[in-house]
A and B are shown apart, each in its own frame.
Chain A
Amino acid sequence: GESVGLHLPTLSVQEGDNSIINCAYSNSASDYFIWYKQESGKGPQFIIDIRSNMDKRQGQRVTVLLNKTVKHLSLQIAATQPGDSAVYFCAESKYGNKLVFGAGTILRVKS
């Protein structure tokens, strides 16, 4: 069945460093991928998305890379700040269907 998984359950980085969070997906038919940030006690917050016809998309301090050959998605956060500490989820979707989420990666930023 469909699944989206993450390689690292916890990532600790020093403030100011760049962070890279990885995700593997299994459904090659998925055409839409999203990264969400979830802080304690809150709902997931949209960070950035990418469609399957792209391999890179940049936002403010964030970049998402999509490698369809190996079904891999990554989120890069530049100059990581303490406020970036949260759980990060990748999710995939096909033709407007349900979002399939992975288990999440905890990002801890050390000051």
Chain B
Amino acid sequence: DAGVTQSPTHLIKTRGQQVTLRCSPKSGHDTVSWYQQALGQGPQFIFQYYEEEERQRGNFPDRFSGHQFPNYSSELNVNALLLGDSALYLCASSWGGDQNTEAFFGQGTRLTVV
């Protein structure tokens, strides 16, 4: 079992560009959540996908969007990148959508906006 995998591991983008991050959930998991973690802080919830739909959304602008595919993998897209978008982006997978079950995190994608 490969666990939660994210790609790429590191990424450098220029302000104003767009970026797509990818996540494959742990085998058997159907729910994917995305978090942003600034240096020295705890992860902040961006949104959650279940059954290919966005179920919940945190306090992030519409520049942040996502998608979930039939195989439960997910993408996070960020448009019009700002310097403040530099962070570690974490994907977490779990099972059951609206149930509280153990969430497993990937190793994250380190995004640097210059």
- A-to-B contact residues, CB < 8 Å: 4, 31-32, 34, 36, 41-46, 49, 51, 89, 91, 93, 95-104
Contacts and interface: CB of A to CB of B under 8 A. Distances in A.
Given A43-B108, A98-B56, A34 B103 contact: yes
Contact of A98 (B45, B99, B105): B45
Nearest to A100: B45
Nearest to B108: A43
Main secondary structure of the interface of B (DSSP, over half): loop
B62 interface: no
Contact of A44 (B43, B98, B100): B43
B33 interface: yes
B100 to A, nearest CB: 4
B110 to A, nearest CB: 8
Nearest to B96: A96
Contact of B98 (A96, A101, A103): A96
Interface string B47-71: 0100000001010000000000000
Contacts of A104: 40-42
B106 A43 contact: yes
Contacts of B42: 4, 89, 91, 101-104
8 contacts: A42-B107, A43-B107, A44-B90, A49-B102, A51-B100, A89-B43, A93-B100, A101-B44
A96 B90 CA distance: 18
A36 B35 CA distance: 14
Contacts of A95: 98, 100
